[in-house]
Amino acid sequence: MSDTATAPKPKTGLPPRPKKAHWFFGNAWHLLKDPVSFLQESTAQFNGIFRVTSRILNLVVLTDPEYVKHVMQDNNKNYTKWFKNDVLELLLGRGLLTSEGDFWRKQRRLAQPAFHKERLARMADTMVRCTQQQIEKMERLADKQNVDISTQMMELTLNIVAGAMFSSEVKGAIDVVSHEIERTSVMATARFNNPLRLPIRFPTPANLAERKSIKNLDDVLNPIIRERRKSTEHFDDLLAMLMEAKDEDTGEQMSDQQLRDETMTIFLAGHETTALALSWLWYLLDKNPKEAQKLYDEIDQVTQGRTPALEDLQRMPFTKMVMDESLRLYPPAWLIMRENIDDDMFGDYVIPRGFTFMIPVFTIHRDPRLWDSPDAFMPERFSKENAKSHHRFAYFPFGGGPRQCIGNNFALMEMQLILVMMLQKFRFKVSKGFVPEMHPMVTLRMKNGMRMDIEKRA
């Protein structure tokens, strides 16, 4: 054999890009105009990796689960998050979602115990109480048509996360937080969509409004944190857990600023995603009456109409399968972004450092190479026997590796309790003539909400 035959294969440089391109804006035009179709078509065209380019954009899209695993898990230290949003920075500071490196690692170690399953069990009462209140409110809307169910879900999940964070005696604070967090998350999303908007430090009317909202939040959160420090009373909520958390090696605890940043982060990361997941789930149930009936049967049989207890949830495997399948078809965090610190290799391709990576969770969850009948709602995929057959990174609604969602168990417990309690009372039917449209922003929203008729169950 000659030397040439044994030598490593020459590297072929950057991955290919789709031919579909605007004369000036390149592929980015199609990505921005209709990201879901563009990403699906391109995924089918290439082998797990491709590039999207324009005069101002050059990014790598990964759709092979092995490549995703490489970035999110095996070689995760070579990747940073891709957050360039000054409103989010001002709002979240150095909270878990936006921080990096050693600082993030230390914070994650401190926060992790607060999200352990046993600790979360203590939050179940708050979840049940808030759901009961929302149900009472929705009962007044029952038999009304054309209700935007996504607004109801948003209100509910925000109340839950606020209630889990602080005990109920700060009710006034929860109202302010609910209102302002919703406003700031709308504003932060608007900024993602319009990169030409002036940075937040410029005193334009929109920027001043954003700064005012963040200040209102600080004015509520900072005194709560200060009061807690002084208090000798025992609290059993997320804030107390974060406040008491101690680094095992150094004995270090979170400063007031860190507590403020983590509180804000959990509010933002922990409500919209869950609300969207539920809104899409109600839609899927209406479109799949056979599966819906199986779900009603399981719920009725296990709970016999009583408020579900945590032990009941384990006895409802089909409910969990329905949630998993719904998170596959409509993953609220539909896109994950990263940037590489050093050059990295994917097959024969070498990606120089500083490249932006896009991991389209939605597209991978529906890739026909990974899933049979990918667009069909088939909860059986997630039965005990079937669940193990898919690649770890063919299904990852909560991400993976060290930066996996810290609130995944919180979210799943919350979703299941809400699902069970709501379906004990209601059936949700998509309103006549309404077709929900995906609106993929930072999260997988819907364009005009989710218009449904709420029917009381007999």
Q: Tell me which residues touch ligand HEM (CB under 6 A).
A: 81, 96-97, 108, 161, 265-266, 269-270, 273-274, 277, 332-333, 336, 397-399, 403, 405-407, 410-411
Dihedral of CA atoms 111, 115, 121, 123 in degrees, nearest 10, equals 60
Instruction: State in angstroms the smallest separation of the CB of 106 from ligand HEM.
Output: 11
Q: End-to-end CA distance of the chain, in Å? A: 79
Instruction: State in angstroms the smallest separation of the CB of 115 from ligand HEM.
Output: 7
Nearest to 369 by CA among 390, 354, 352: 390
Instruction: State in angstroms the smallest separation of the CB of 159 from ligand HEM.
Output: 13
Element (H, E) at 349: strand 349-351
Which residue, 200 or 413, is less far from ligand HEM as judged by CB? 413
Retrieve residue 133's tokens: 């209140």
Parallel, antiparallel, or unpaired for β 356-360 and 58-62?
Answer: parallel
Which residue, 119 or 369, is less far from ligand HEM as judged by CB? 119
Instruction: State in angstroms the smallest separation of the CB of 175 from ligand HEM.
Output: 19
Alpha-carbon span 319 to 417, nearest angstrom = 10
Which residue, 184 or 265, is less far from ligand HEM as judged by CB? 265
Which residue, 377 or 434, is less far from ligand HEM as judged by CB? 377
How does DSSP assign 214-238, residue by residue?
HHHHHHHHHHHHHHHHH--S---SH
Which residue, 109 or 211, is less far from ligand HEM as judged by CB? 109
Instruction: State in angstroms the smallest separation of the CB of 332 from ligand HEM.
Output: 4
Instruction: State in angstroms the smallest separation of the CB of 334 from ligand HEM.
Output: 9
What's the maximum distance between 2 C-alpha atoms anywhere in the chain? Answer: 81
Instruction: State in angstroms the smallest separation of the CB of 128 from ligand HEM.
Output: 16
Alpha-carbon span 190 to 70, nearest angstrom = 32
Which residue, 18 or 444, is less far from ligand HEM as judged by CB? 444
Alpha-carbon span 137 to 160, nearest angstrom = 15
Which residue, 20 or 81, is less far from ligand HEM as judged by CB? 81
Alpha-carbon span 181 to 188, nearest angstrom = 10
Residues in the chain: 458
Residue nearest to ligand HEM (CB): 407
